[in-house]
Structure 1
Amino acid sequence: METKMGFRHKLAYSFFNLTAYKEFLRQGVGKSIFYIFLVTIIFSTIVNIITLSSFNSDISKVQAKFINEAPNFTLENGVLSIDSTQPIYYKHDGQTLIVDTSGATTLSALSPYNNGVYIDANSITFRQNYHTLKTLKFSDFANIGANNNTFREALSVFKFMYNVTLLFIDPMLSFLENLFSVFLILGPGTLIISSIIGFKLNYSKSCTLSFYAMTSSILIEALLNVAQIDIPEFYILYYIIALIYCVLAIKKIKNIDNSNLNVTK
């Protein structure tokens, strides 16, 4: 007899109730996909809302500073001109912006800084870790014109599009990524592990188990993102944690009464 479980029960049981994995298998791969869809949307949205809170605050400060302090400028026919006779220096969070169309400085003005951007009348140069990454010449975009108004509009459009991307597009992409992870990596891995343990599952059951087992990995990834902690090659740890849950769940199921569970068909 199938036990009814709400989403919150499945979410909690996926962490600490290995016996529940037997019921997860009974309910099939369809419900497991819907479960991981909800998990992905919820955690992705929470992380992205926190990210957007910081981003929107920063971009609003940039907009306010630009409106109140930026001199008038025009970019026309591949040449930038700014209504300022002195170079402009702006520093924020380890980044340095130098703007000088008067010719008073050269690119060497950026040399003392680790990360920064240098803009003169003809080009824009990006620098990171004391190395020049790329220089873009305005003449390559001679058909593009800009001024204070268009820049303000561009900032507003960028802010809107970034919010839309993180709130609506990114969660769906994360869901598709999780499907890919299960169907191509975790599912086959669980299939092999179950055979080694001696409780052979078919591919569909292996994927079903994997969807619930990856909940902890998704939670850890979300917490790391919120805390802005970067772990190199985290995806390896991501898969290891999920597979450990699969191993523990399979061993638990193997040791309980599974007379009503058809795991091979």
Structure 2
Amino acid sequence: MQLWKSLYSPKDIARFRFQKIGKAIGYVFLLAFLSSLPLSYYMSVNLVDGIRYMKTLLENEIPSFNIENGKLASSATQPITINEHGLTIVFDSTGKVTTEEMERATNAIGLLKHEAVIVTNGQTQTYDYAMFSNMTLTDADVRSFLGTVQSLLPVFIPLLFVFIYVFISASKFVGVSVLAFIGLILRSTLDKNISYRHTWVMSAYAITLSTVFFAVMETVQAAVPYAPFVHWFVSITVLFLAIKEIPSPTLKE
């Protein structure tokens, strides 16, 4: 009921200020749980699909290889490039593809002659094979590793959810605390007689609309431009309207 009323009623949010702080803390944990669900789901699906896709590539698209003495070696005489789902995968044991060429892609994974290259949203990370000069890595080792990771997914995915939930919970509590301080400024502007405890409880409910909105957008995989600005604007506006609903103190003669 409180979740529903917090979506549209600043007057009810103003009434919630008399609740015990423990109830508001529990409510913030509930909002963090709702925020965690779509993000955890899509990260888990992408992880499962990514591992399955990499295993298929190693079995059908990429020839047998080994990395030894800081170099990638295989029977391929030409670079192999695969473009799928907005991701570019390059396998090149010939040395023809350079790191600079890989950097031109937005999202890419490259196994090059002397290094592995990962490009994520235009940001490049390189890993020199010389770091593993004392060991030999083969495609069979990679397939074995992927198989091990795949078998551990029933354990890893719940741990991933817990990590996301803890991280989002912490960010929610920090956000509510900052919003509560902003509420003290609004209190002075609107001449309302409330304490920080009141503004904190109200802030916990004032973020409901923004939290639910972004949870829905995450569920349908829709990008929201200037998301942090939208979140803070909506939350501050709702808190302002809620504080405005509080009766002002009357002056006694």
Say whether the fold is shared (TM-score over 0.5): yes
Report the equivalent of 2:5. Answer: 13
Report the equivalent of 2:167. Answer: 173
SS of the aligned residue for 2:246 comes to: helix
Report the equivalent of 1:193. Answer: 186
Deviation at 1:126, TM superposition (A): 4.7
Contact 1:118 1:125 in 2 (8 A): yes
> Does 2:44 match 1:31?
no
> How many residues are aligned here?
245
- The counterpart of 1:70, out of the listed 52, 62, 66, is 62
CA distance in 2, matches of 1:46, 1:137: 36
> Does 2:192 match 1:217?
no
- The counterpart of 1:114, out of the listed 105, 108, 111, is 105
Contact 2:38 2:218 in 1 (8 A): no
- Shift in CA distance, 221/145, structure 1 to aligned 2, threshold 3 Å: farther
Contact 1:98 1:110 in 2 (8 A): no
Counterparts of 1:53-202 in structure 2 under 5 Å? Answer: 53-103=45-95, 105-107=96-98, 110=101, 114-115=105-106, 116-126=108-118, 133-156=124-147, 157=149, 160=153, 163-164=157-158, 166-183=160-177, 185-202=178-195
Gap regions ≥5 residues in structure 2: none
TM-score by length of 1: 0.78
Gap regions ≥5 residues in structure 1: 1-8, 259-265
- The counterpart of 2:39, out of the listed 39, 44, 47, is 47
SS of the aligned residue for 2:90 comes to: strand
Letter in 1 for 2:25: I
SS of the aligned residue for 1:16 comes to: coil
SS of the aligned residue for 1:143 comes to: coil
Deviation at 1:46, TM superposition (A): 3.3
Q: Report the RMSD for the aligned CA atoms in angstroms.
A: 3.1
Deviation at 1:202, TM superposition (A): 0.8
Contact 1:37 1:175 in 2 (8 A): yes
Letter in 1 for 2:207: M
CA distance in 2, matches of 1:165, 1:69: 32
CA distance in 1, matches of 2:160, 2:217: 17
Identical aligned residues as a percent: 22
Moved over 6 A (4+): none
Contact 1:25 1:205 in 2 (8 A): yes
